[in-house]
Structure 1
Amino acid sequence: MVRLSVNLNKVALIRNSRGADYPNLVKVATDCEQFGAQGITIHPRPDQRHARYDDVAALKEVVTTELNIEGYPAEHFNQIVLSNRPHQVTLVPDEPGQLTSDHGWDTVAKADFLKEVLAGFREAGIRTSLFVDPDERMIEGAKEVGADRIEFYTGPFAHQFAADRAGAVAPFTRACRFAQEIGMGINAGHDLNLDNLTYFASRMPGLQEVSIGHALVSDALYYGMANTIAMYRSCLSNAAALQEG
């Protein structure tokens, strides 16, 4: 079944808003694992408006499932990742002041840059993933520069889901099959939620992991974190059953 990694950026945003350490990100991460999360994700940005660079070391000490660090591979980010060696690093092509991730890498135009960065992470024994759009050329480029996995940027699917779910998922299904054919691991994330997750995951052969933060934390305001994680896990379980059926 597809693994659920919980992105804690929005929890960190609440913490930072009062200039204190509440809610404590380490406590939330360990509780999420206890509630059924199969991974913890954070995305520290240069302005550190939510997850901060020093959260990486704190989480590395306590996360017992998988720790995934997302970010743009600037020098300081790379040093933090190499110093702490999370289980996975997911590289995103964000500009420093970008509000949220909204597109994948051009793995062809940025091939030399990505190849050099990924080689350093690979040497340190860190699994690597590149944020990409559902484009076969970009997926093939990710393989050529040495990434272990891709993470599909699923914003376009989520935005089109209500109007045309079949049309929204079709390019991702095709891209997923292509990634399988060339031996790439497959992750996905961005705007996946309780409404669209089962449908999406059921049509993604070989999908290994989804990283979900904003929607999951928002749902937890109503349902509680333990119930919400169980609900997202149930979506993934239902997707697996649909694939088998």
Structure 2
Amino acid sequence: MSGAKAAHLRLGVNIDHVATIRNARGGDHPDPVRAAEAAAGAGADGITAHLREDRRHIRDNDIERLMGEIRLPLNLEMAATEEMLAIALRHKPHAVCLVPERREEVTTEGGLEAAGQHNHLAPYVARLRDAGIRVSLFINADRRQLEAAVSLGAPVVELHTGAYAHAHDSGDAARYDAELARLVAGAREGAGLGLEVHAGHGLTFDNVAPVAGLAEVRELNIGHFLVGEAIFGGLDSTIRRMRALMDKARADALGSRSA
């Protein structure tokens, strides 16, 4: 792989919460597909959408339209259920990220327990891969979960950065250092096991740089912050600023390693 390609850190923009705002009043505005189009123009490398069991934000017709109208690859987040598998196999998005899901949670609260659910997850991973869909597992940065991903045959993992983000906001330096160290170790271990490593959840302008600077991380998926910040600065400029911060952090990290 060339140095330029290796250095590029992909940005997946999650449009779920554009749909959350739409669904608060019903109707069709704001349109998450329009948000995906704006993200493409602002430098996103992909679009992420989580189709939940209760359809609290993204709806089935959103997936149909994203597949038909957006040229960027779609990363469909979903729980490992027969209903969601059927939808994924019908639409065949570029990627499916298997995530934990509980109806009572406000947002995804942690990583998938891949090691403890091996027998449940194995047929879903196999059927998605057989359909030519790239499969990733949304997991905590834990060696046991990384090894489970390898055992399951999932080529990609997305490290849950929520605990890191909360630690950053807490002002507790020791807690922050510990969570960052956990991510650093998880990214290195995942890459060492032959996995493609992604990361996401709770990333903002203020905390993205250390994660973006990890050479083993190939993609960040960011949504809630971008949609919220767009209220004040517009979606285009918000995504462009995040893209610039990621690129700077990656360039700085590469520069420090080559110095």
Q: Could you tell me the TM-score, scaled by structure 1's length?
A: 0.96
CA–CA distance in 2 between the matches of 1:148 and 1:60?
22
Does the CA-based 8 Å contact 1:173-1:205 persist in structure 2? no
1:217 corresponding residue in structure 2: 227
2: CA distance, partners of 1:172 / 1:185: 14
Counterpart of 2:76?
A: 69
CA distance in 2, matches of 1:215, 1:81: 26
Match of 1:49 in 2: 56
**Greater Cα offset, 151-160 or 103-112:** 103-112
Q: How far off its partner does 1:225 sit?
A: 0.8
What is the rounded CA distance, in whole Å, between the counterparts of 2:114 and 2:179 in structure 1? 23
Aligned position for 2:35 = 28
- Please state how far the C-alpha of 1:220 moved relative to its aligned partner: 0.8
Shift of 1:241: 1.3
| Residue of structure 2 equivalent to 1:134 | 141
Cα distance between partner residues in 1 of 2:18 and 2:65: 15
Q: Return the match for 1:163 from 162, 172, 181.
A: 172
What secondary structure sits across from 1:47 in the alignment?
A: coil
> What is aligned with 2:4?
none
Q: How far apart, CA to CA, are the structure 1 residues paired with 2:172 and 2:211?
A: 14
**1:167 to partner: Cα distance:** 2.7
Superposed CA RMSD in Å reads: 1.2
Partner of 2:236: 226
SS of structure 1 residue aligned to 2:217:
coil
Match in the other structure for 1:205: 215
1:183 alignment partner AA: G
Runs of 4+ in 1 over 6 A off after TM superposition: none
CA contact (8 A) 2:215 2:250 kept: no
Out of 41, 45, 50, the position equivalent to 1:38 is 45
Task: Decide whether the 8 Å contact of 1:188 with 1:210 is kept in 2.
Answer: yes
Q: What TM-score comes out, normalization by structure 2 length?
A: 0.91
Kindly provide the amino acid, as one letter, of the partner of residue 140 in structure 1.
Answer: E
State the Cα distance separating 1:163 from its structure 2 match.
Answer: 2.5
Q: CA deviation at 1:82?
A: 0.7
Instruction: Please name the residue that 2:3 is paired with.
Output: none
| Counterparts of residues 96-107 of structure 1 (less than 5 Å) | 96-107=103-114
Greater shift in the superposed pair: 219-228 or 22-31: 22-31
Once the two structures are superposed, residues 207-227 of structure 1 have per-residue CA deviations (whole angstroms, 9 ceiling, x without a partner) of 111111111111111111111
Q: Check the 8 A contact 2:197/2:218 in 1, yes or no.
A: yes
Q: Any idea what the Cα deviations from partners look like across 1:144-203, whole Å, max 9, x if unmatched?
A: 10111001111110111142243321011011101111100111111001000012221x
Structure 1 runs not aligned, ≥5 long: none
Contact 1:104/1:131 (8 A) holds in 2: yes
CA contact (8 A) 2:113 2:145 kept: yes
Residue 46 of structure 1: how far off its partner (Å): 1.4
> Between the two proteins, what is the percent identity of the paired residues?
36
Partner in structure 2 of residue 18 of structure 1: 25
Q: 1:40, 1:167 → 2: CA distance? A: 30
* Corresponding pairs, count: 244
Q: In the TM superposition, what is the alpha-carbon distance from 1:74 to its structure 2 partner?
A: 1.2
Deviation of the 1:140 alpha carbon: 0.7
**Structure 1 residue 231: deviation in Å?**
0.6
Q: Distance in 1 between matches of 2:72 and 2:27?
A: 27
Structure 2 segments unaligned to the other structure (5+ residues): 1-7
For residues 85 and 13 of structure 2, what CA distance do their matches in structure 1 show? 22
Secondary structure of 1:195 counterpart: coil
- In 2 relative to 1, CA 171–100 (structure 1 residues): closer, same or farther, beyond 3 Å? same
Alignment of 1:111-126 (within 5 A): 111-126=118-133
Contact kept in structure 1, 2:16 and 2:32, CA below 8 Å: no
